[in-house]
Structure 1
Amino acid sequence: MPMTDHYLSDAPPRTEIDALQGPTLLEFGTGWCGHCQRAQPALAMAFARYPDVRHIKVEDGSGRPLGRSFRVRLWPTLVFLRDGQEVSRLVRPVDAGPILEAMAAIA
């Protein structure tokens, strides 16, 4: 599963996320967010090493239920899931190291 380039404006329901099997990176942010844009090269580097991690990139904002259910406050917020359960999260990562460590924990 390759890295996703665009944010989903219609996020899947939380029940669907909770039912996912295997490793998943759930990324909350927006295309216009500078912090989100700066994180993309580090994410690309991590996905090059862990191509089997599912990537769900969700456009977040005020009143968006999926982001609120994960208590997202800053972008990007990366939620690392294994079998629908949160294992770890990173907020505003700037380099690939922490992303790679989190991916290793769910892969």
Structure 2
Amino acid sequence: MGAQISTKQRSDDGKVISVHSLDNWNTQFQSSRTSNKLMVIDFSAAWCGPCKFIEPAVHDLAVEFSDVEFIKIDVDELPDVAKDFEVQAMPTFVLVKKGKERERIVGVKKDELQRMIEKHRF
């Protein structure tokens, strides 16, 4: 089946990890539960225009906040994960630390997302 996790990486070390299987999601989520690192989960879909619009900004935030883990989940690929997080619109960004949701932002709100990351990353 090939690789189930893909990383879109920029030359300046910012990365967003795209998770494509439930097994890999469970591995990522379990490792985040024992870490002090903030995880930003970007729930999106290939057909979602606003998701495509904010994608470059998310990559920029991944560069700026290299101490934060950025995970991208396509709701059509992993509907059970989207259901577990009660995602009802896209894009939805869920900020998780130690396995617990800290904040949630729905829509294209880069400035608000940046503020929430700054608030919860330490």
TM bucket (normalised to shorter chain) is 0.7 to 0.9
- Using structure 2 for the length normalisation, give the TM-score: 0.72
User: Alpha carbon RMSD of aligned pairs, Å?
Assistant: 2.5
Cα separation, 2, equivalents of 1:63 and 1:97: 27
Counterpart amino acid of residue 4 in structure 1: V
Cα separation, 2, equivalents of 1:62 and 1:41: 21
5+ unaligned residues in a row in structure 2: which ranges? 1-12
5+ unaligned residues in a row in structure 1: which ranges? none
1:20, distance to aligned residue in structure 2 (A): 4.8
- Which of structure 1's runs of 4+ aligned residues deviate more than 4 A? none
Pairing of 1:79-98 with structure 2 (within 5 A): 79-94=94-109, 96-98=110-112
- Using structure 1 for the length normalisation, give the TM-score: 0.80
- Alignment equivalent of 1:67, drawn from 82, 89, 101: 82
Counterparts in 2 of 1:47 and 1:63: CA distance versus 1, 3 Å? closer
Over the matched positions of the two proteins, sequence identity in percent amounts to 19
Cα separation, 2, equivalents of 1:78 and 1:90: 5
Contact 1:27–1:79, Cα closer than 8 Å, also in 2:
yes
- Relative contact order, higher structure (CA 8 A, sep 6+): 1
- Does structure 1 residue 53 correspond to structure 2 residue 68? yes
Q: Which has the larger radius of gyration?
A: 2
